Every structure is written in structure tokens, then in C-alpha cells.
């Protein structure tokens, strides 16, 4: 290990310790004892943490993968709105793959075992997928706003839709470049600790500026835009009166549809707000005072906030797709029909073969009696005339 690496490790040791350990108190005479107490508390709840994250991982990956595959394989679903929903599902799928297993394993083991390359790659992909997921919410809200508020205006073309999707991934990648640059693996075993994957900036000022940018672009501004757009959509739907004369039953049905739409809009806003609020709140508080959530309960608080954020990958497919009857019908037609396509074709051919046989037999039987009956009638007619 070179002298520069030793100095860097020593610097990261003091920064890491200062960030994760509070001041020495009467309870803990050694700051590392406080860290280890927090790790022991998490290990005691490891089974519960594993079950909660496993549920989010399985449901999130399966639900989002089904959305992407369904839109990709079903031509009738390939429109602008569904492309945006599929983009959201793709980012949530990547989030499940790169945010859940790596974070849980690293936190429970309290040791980074995946090497320096993955130390840079994993948090970068995490940041990209999170930012694309959040921007997808804004794009979907904007698309719905334009579609409902201005129904006579032409919709976005597929080319523009793909440009918007590409820009979301490009901007997310550009925003994540500092994480890739400043994140590195550090070996703290010489200080009696473990190998850590840590994001170390040259000074606190640029780091705080970057955190503020992430909080603004990743939560506060998108939340404001989503609430504004969906609030406007709700107002337009509620106040809009369809032309024509309606019966009482039709009015009730129209009111029921409006209430259902409003509930879906509220569900979108509440899901986004509640899921991401704890994670961004802890980031804001940590930037103000890093020692508020440090020490014995730091890891446990982080797991709770992180699980809420990751659970959004489970709710999004239900809110944007599964609750819509049209989507469920097309999903069944896209998958169930294809799963049984071979057997259905076989049954269809079998039925056609049987039907052809019956048809030929029926034609033969039908034609024969007709000639026989005709001959018989002639015979009977002749007998009668005699």
C-alpha cells in the first residue's frame, strides 16, 4: 500500500467514524462500541429485514418485468402512455436488482466484499435508476395532463416519446457521475474495522451543494409538479359535464368513474410522497446534523427509510397498470393465450378435423336420403296415381 493510499485511508477512517459515530457518552466509552451496538441490533432483526426486503424484491421484479414484457410483446399496447409506464417499470426493475440485494448484504455483513469496480458501479446504477423512476412519474403526469386537459390536441409521437425517455436516462447518468468519481473502496482493517465502500468528497461544500441538488431534483420539485398536474386533472374531470341528456343511472355511472379516477390520482401522489419522504428527510437531517441518526440506531433507521423507498417499486405497477381493467385484459391475452397457444392450436386443429369429418359424413348422409327419398316419393307417387 502506497503512502498516498495510507493517507487516504486514514482520512476516510476519521470521516467515516465522525459520520457514523456520535460523541462519546457515558453509555459507550469507545465510539466503536456504539457502532457495534448498532450492528448487533440490526443482526438481531436480520430475519425480519430479510423477509421484508425479499417480499419487495420478488414482487417488485416480477410485477415490473411483466409490465415491460407485456408492452414489448403486445402491439396493441405500444402507445406513448404505455411506453412511459414501461420506462418507469424498467427503472424500478433495475432499482430492485441493484438497490436491494447489494445494500442488504453490505449492511448486514458490515463489510464490502464486491471489489472496487462494483463499489463504483452499484451506487451509480442505483442513482440512475432512482432518478429515472422519479422523472418517469413527472413525465406520466404531464402526458395525462395534456391528454385530459387538451383532448383535441395531437398526442406526442413515438419519436418524441423515445427522445424524452433517452433524455431521462442521459440526464440521470450525468447527474450520477460525481457518485462514480468520488466513491471508492477503502480498507480500514488496519484500524480494527472493515472494508468500506464510501463516497468521499474533497471538501464539504461541494458535497452539500450536490446533496441539495439531488434533494431538489429527486424529490421536492417532482413532488410539486406531480401534485400540481394531478390536482389540475382532478379539477378538470370533476367539473367537466358531458354533452347530451343523461338518465339517472348514467349520471351515477359517470360520477363513479370520476371518483375512481380521483382515487387513482390520489394513490399516485400518496405513494410517491410516503415512500420517498423518509429517505429524503433523513438525507436532509443528516446534512444539517450528521450525528442525529448516528450511533446505535443509525443502521436501523436507515433500513426503515430505505425499505419504504424501495417499496415504491411494488406499488407502482399496481397503481399505473394492474388497477386498470383494460391492462389486465391485455395482459391475460398476451400471456395466458401464448402459454396455451400450442395446445389451443392443437385443439383447434382437432376440432376442425372432427368438424370436417362430420361435415363430410353429414353431406354424404344428407345427399343419400335426398335421392332415396326422391326415388321413394316417385315410387309412392306412381303407386298413388295408379
pLDDT of 138 over the 90 cut? yes
Q: How far apart are CA 31 and CA 165, in angstroms?
A: 47
pLDDT tens track for 216-251: 998 999 999 999 998 898 888 887 766 665 666 777
Other CB atoms within 10 A of residue 50 CB: 12
Q: Are 16 and 198 in contact (CB under 8 A)?
A: yes
Reported pTM: 0.76
**What pLDDT is attached to residue 380?**
30
Give 3-state DSSP helix, strand, coil % of the chain, rounded to 5. Answer: 85, 5, 15
Q: How far apart are CA 346 and CA 51, in angstroms?
A: 43
Q: What is the DSSP string of 210-252?
A: HHHHHHIIIIIHHHHHHHHHHHHHHHHHHH---SS---HHHHH
Give the lowest-confidence range in 94-108, 127-141, 187-201. 187-201
**What pLDDT is attached to residue 235?**
87
Q: How far apart are CA 119 and CA 217, in angstroms?
A: 24
pLDDT tens track for 284-335: 887 777 666 656 677 788 888 889 999 998 888 888 777 777 677 776 666 5
Residue 185's φ and ψ, nearest 5 degrees, are -85, 135
Give the lowest-confidence range in 159-163, 202-206, 270-274, 334-338. 334-338
pLDDT tens track for 28-81: 444 555 555 566 677 778 888 889 999 999 999 998 998 898 888 888 788 898
**What pLDDT is attached to residue 268?**
83
Q: What is the DSSP string of 293-332?
A: S-GGGHHHHHHHHHHHHHTHHHHHHIIIIIT-HHHHHHHI
Domain boundaries of the chain, sorted by first residue: 3-323
Burial 260-270 (b: 16+ CB within 10 A, else e): ebbeebeebbe
Q: And the C-alpha cell for 308?
A: 419504504
CATH class of the domain comprising 3-323: mainly alpha
Q: Are 277 and 218 in contact (CB under 8 A)?
A: no
Q: What is the DSSP string of 69-105?
A: HHHHH-GGG-SHHHHHHHHHHHHHHHHHHHHHHHHHH
pLDDT tens track for 161-219: 999 999 999 999 999 999 999 998 888 777 666 788 888 888 888 888 998 999 999 89
pLDDT of 19 over the 50 cut? no
Amino acid at each position: 500500500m502506497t503512502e498516498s493510499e495510507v493517507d487516504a485511508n486514514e482520512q476516510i477512517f476519521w470521516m467515516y467514524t465522525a459520520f457514523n459515530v456520535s460523541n462519546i457518552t457515558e453509555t459507550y466509552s469507545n465510539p466503536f462500541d456504539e457502532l457495534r451496538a448498532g450492528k448487533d441490533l440490526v443482526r438481531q432483526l436480520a430475519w425480519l429485514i430479510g423477509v421484508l426486503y425479499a417480499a419487495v424484491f420478488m414482487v417488485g421484479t416480477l410485477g415490473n418485468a411483466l409490465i415491460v414484457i407485456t408492452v414489448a410483446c403486445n402491439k396493441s399496447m405500444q402507445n406513448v402512455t404505455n411506453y412511459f409506464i414501461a420506462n418507469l417499470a424498467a427503472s424500478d426493475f433495475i432499482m430492485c436488482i441493484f438497490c436491494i440485494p447489494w445494500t442488504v448484504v453490505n449492511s448486514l455483513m458490515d463489510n464490502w466484499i464486491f471489489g472496487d469496480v462494483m463499489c463504483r458501479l452499484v451506487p451509480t446504477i442505483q442513482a440512475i435508476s432512482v432518478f429515472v423512476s422519479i422523472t418517469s412519474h413527472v413525465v406520466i403526469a404531464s402526458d395525462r395532463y395534456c391528454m385530459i386537459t387538451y383532448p383535441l390536441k395531437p398526442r406526442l409521437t413515438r419519436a418524441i416519446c423515445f427522445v424524452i425517455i433517452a433524455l431521462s436516462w442521459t440526464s440521470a447518468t450525468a447527474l450520477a457521475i460525481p457518485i462514480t468519481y468520488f466513491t471508492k473502496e477503502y480498507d480500514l482493517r488496519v484500524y480494527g474495522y472493515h472494508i468500506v465502500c464510501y463516497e468521499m468528497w474533497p471538501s464539504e461544500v461541494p458535497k452539500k451543494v450536490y446533496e441539495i441538488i439531488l434533494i431538489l431534483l429527486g424529490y421536492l420539485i417532482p413532488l410539486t409538479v406531480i401534485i400540481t398536474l394531478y390536482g389540475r386533472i382532478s379539477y378538470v374531470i370533476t367539473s367537466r359535464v358531458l354533452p347530451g341528456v343523461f338518465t339517472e343511472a348514467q349520471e351515477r355511472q359517470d360520477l363513479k368513474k370520476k371518483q375512481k379516477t380521483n382515487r387513482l390520482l390520489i394513490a399516485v401522489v400518496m405513494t410517491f410522497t410516503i415512500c420517498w419522504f423518509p429517505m429524503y428527510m433523513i438525507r436532509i437531517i443528516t446534512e444539517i446534523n450528521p450525528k442525529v441518526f448516528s450511533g446505535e440506531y443509525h443502521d436501523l433507521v436507515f433500513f426503515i427509510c430505505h425499505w419504504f423507498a424501495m417499496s415504491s417499486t411494488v406499488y407502482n405497477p399496481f397503481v399505473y397498470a394492474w388497477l386498470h381493467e383494460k391492462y389486465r385484459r391485455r395482459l391475460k391475452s398476451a400471456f395466458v393465450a401464448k402459454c396455451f397457444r400450442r395446445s389451443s392450436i392443437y385443439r383447434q386443429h382437432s376440432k376442425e378435423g372432427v368438424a370436417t369429418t362430420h361435415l363430410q359424413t353429414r353431406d354424404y348422409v344428407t345427399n343419400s336420403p335426398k335421392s332415396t327419398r326422391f326415388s321413394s316419393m316417385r315410387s309412392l307417387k306412381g303407386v298413388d296415381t295408379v
